[in-house]
Structure 1
């Protein structure tokens, strides 16, 4: 029947695809190069590389080379399938970023500046890979390094630093995201250990992690405690969250804990209250602020090459005034974001960083990056909705980053509290009662 699509190509039976297999994008659209062959880095307009040490430059060059050569060619395929490329873990391990700033116990101990610059280079090519690394390096590693027992440090740090052991960090719950201090997952003392009960949600890497750091409320003290739960523990269930539009390679999970027994030696002794993880948060929030920076760098680089390759009316798109204005606006955002990101790192390293500083950095950089990816999507026209040309993927990947590690609004209120001395966090119930 005309229009049925069944006369040629694959059968539609049992959910099969209808019609012929699509052309490879390189053949289908020959005017521009897809992101599988990543564009040159051209976003350092203010020559901020001059501010880096030789060691930082060498690390950036190494990370950029591996990401462009090993990850760029596979990222679209795995992002589209919403699968993690486990075969690429050795390549990601070779970046030398798994340990983050942790030093000793076989860990190199990068400066926060070096780790942040490298994170941006990973995110420039693929945001999912940067999230995979950050969960591990900026949450799991420092929690063990800062709060763990000597035995736990000896047992886990070196293996984690080499990605031989994979970790995840579970705090967020179905009912409590930004309001993390109200967590309900409970820890009750039993002979020889603890029983954990509750649920966690949006936990990156949780479906395959070898060890899960679980934050739970001590039923006796009502304070936050930390626990190491091993993969396969009885009563532990971690299932993948499906149908995401962003960071699709990241395996976010729902975790259910049903009387999960944790022996005493697997309680993290340095976490006795919420404030004990503030230093972990301070570091991780700075690092997350560098993800939008890296994403914006990649989008600018892609658009810069695309506009010079793609022709219309006999001239490259880069010759049109409106396109140049958008490209320059994107470039200005990238320069400002880089400067703010560098300052956050230096303030942390000098001991001057406050929660308000890091919250403003994360909130502002993710908002400016939203403008960059939106302009990039406009510049690429129809190809702006194809993951093959990076921008559509980056556009979607930025959305979860805009929300995690504190939403834009919550981070703004953290900074607002710091600069005014007035906390404006109010629950809906309290707000309604005052009307």
Structure 2
């Protein structure tokens, strides 16, 4: 199947990918279009996760692309960003499932695990044999996780006892393991633990009533004297700086996913305006509709350029926290503008699921906030460029 750039890629950034990467994207795109896109509106409305798509997302190697133990071929960070874009272009919740499984759960083991832990867990997470979640955010600790974490890990000989709670944990209602971040009672440093969800004292309860990312199964987690052996403590997670190494990688991919949401809304709006007839002609021929579409495309194109560069910096070993923070802050803000303009282009039909834009419009709000709010990412960049911390 010949490779084609998508309508949202006006400058043809995808042509920067290698032939092998393009082939992968072509196959993934076809699978998403045929097996995932037709069902997402139904499951979004029901606020349920379509478990039948897990096999689709794992079987072609989309999970584990960033680590040599699980990558099907050598690939670039730019390519991995495009995978996140392609997923979110179909549905933000599907992209979030992959982001949690791949970037957070598998990524935490890949970045902070020992060689033995990587060898045991990475293939299982990549194949879907084991489903994972990532437990960092707490009911009273979100943006201040570096200092405000209240979950405690107490050493007891060859085991650790975890007590505390987590909130907004994606995939947690059906995960087999959750990577739990807790402060050590001994040294006050944040450490990571691979916690099987069948462990006594571990409870996950679905968060109801969400109006964004309704397919994602977020949960409140309680940990009551949860016993974890030392062998399941991530051996290279010894402070929040190590947690931040995981987030640095995922934050850039969330920026790519935000672009994907904008692209999905833009392409849906473009299709609609070419077909919708008012005053005897397609509304795409109206000047104000073209203005909305062009502004949307400009946001998308600028965001792809920024994300491409920050991913190139990762490949070159030059990416720092402030680089991924700027990408996330900028791309999500532009996404938010874009989905609103696309909804506007559809008029009243922009608020029903039939035309997809309503789903992108609602889901954008979650991406705007998770993996670091715009305000927190702004302060990370502000500290880097001024030398002054302004977090409190």
TM-superposed CA distance for 1:141, in Å, is: 1.4
SS in 1 for 2:94: helix
1:63-111: CA deviation from partner (whole Å, max 9, x where unpaired)? 2111111111000000000000001111111342111301126765542
Q: CA 1:110–1:207 in structure 2 vs 1: closer, same or farther (change >3 Å)?
A: farther
Aligned to 1:53: 18
1:219 maps to 2:219: no
TM-superposed CA distance for 1:136, in Å, is: 1.1
Match of 2:136 among 134, 158, 171: 171
**Which sits farther off after the overlay, 410-419 or 48-57?**
48-57
Aligned to 1:365: 331
SS in 1 for 2:309: helix
The whole-number CA distance in structure 1 between the counterparts of 2:282 and 2:59 is: 39
Q: How does 1:149-168 map to 2 (within 5 A)?
A: 149-168=114-133
Match of 2:220 among 233, 250, 254: 254
Match of 2:246 among 267, 280, 301: 280
SS in 1 for 2:261: helix
Residues 99 and 108 of structure 1 are in contact (CA less than 8 Å); yes or no, is this contact kept in structure 2?
Answer: no
Residues 103 and 110 of structure 1 are in contact (CA less than 8 Å); yes or no, is this contact kept in structure 2?
Answer: no
Match of 2:47 among 82, 85, 93: 82
The whole-number CA distance in structure 1 between the counterparts of 2:202 and 2:74 is: 33
Q: CA 1:323–1:165 in structure 2 vs 1: closer, same or farther (change >3 Å)?
A: same
Aligned to 2:351: 385
Q: CA 1:209–1:344 in structure 2 vs 1: closer, same or farther (change >3 Å)?
A: same
Q: How does 1:336-415 map to 2 (within 5 A)?
A: 336-415=302-381
Residues 61 and 71 of structure 2 are in contact (CA less than 8 Å); yes or no, is this contact kept in structure 1?
Answer: no
SS in 1 for 2:93: helix
SS in 1 for 2:134: strand
1:206 maps to 2:172: yes
**Which sits farther off after the overlay, 293-302 or 101-110?**
101-110
Match of 2:157 among 182, 186, 191: 191
Aligned to 2:389: 423
1:272-309: CA deviation from partner (whole Å, max 9, x where unpaired)? 11112232121111111001111111111111111110
Which blocks of at least 5 consecutive residues in structure 1 are unaligned? 1-39, 427-435
**Which sits farther off after the overlay, 269-278 or 306-315?**
269-278
What's the C-alpha RMSD, in Å, of the aligned pairs? 1.3
Residues 200 and 226 of structure 2 are in contact (CA less than 8 Å); yes or no, is this contact kept in structure 1?
Answer: yes
| Higher Rg | 1
Aligned to 1:31: none
Aligned length in residues = 387
TM-superposed CA distance for 1:388, in Å, is: 1.8
Residues 61 and 72 of structure 2 are in contact (CA less than 8 Å); yes or no, is this contact kept in structure 1?
Answer: no
The whole-number CA distance in structure 2 between the counterparts of 1:355 and 1:398 is: 23
**Which sits farther off after the overlay, 147-156 or 259-268?**
147-156
SS in 2 for 1:119: helix
SS in 1 for 2:188: coil
Normalised TM-score (structure 1) = 0.87
Aligned to 2:61: 96
TM-superposed CA distance for 1:324, in Å, is: 0.7
SS in 2 for 1:74: helix
Aligned to 1:318: 284
Residues 105 and 154 of structure 1 are in contact (CA less than 8 Å); yes or no, is this contact kept in structure 2?
Answer: no
Match of 1:335 among 291, 296, 301: 301
Normalised TM-score (structure 2) = 0.96
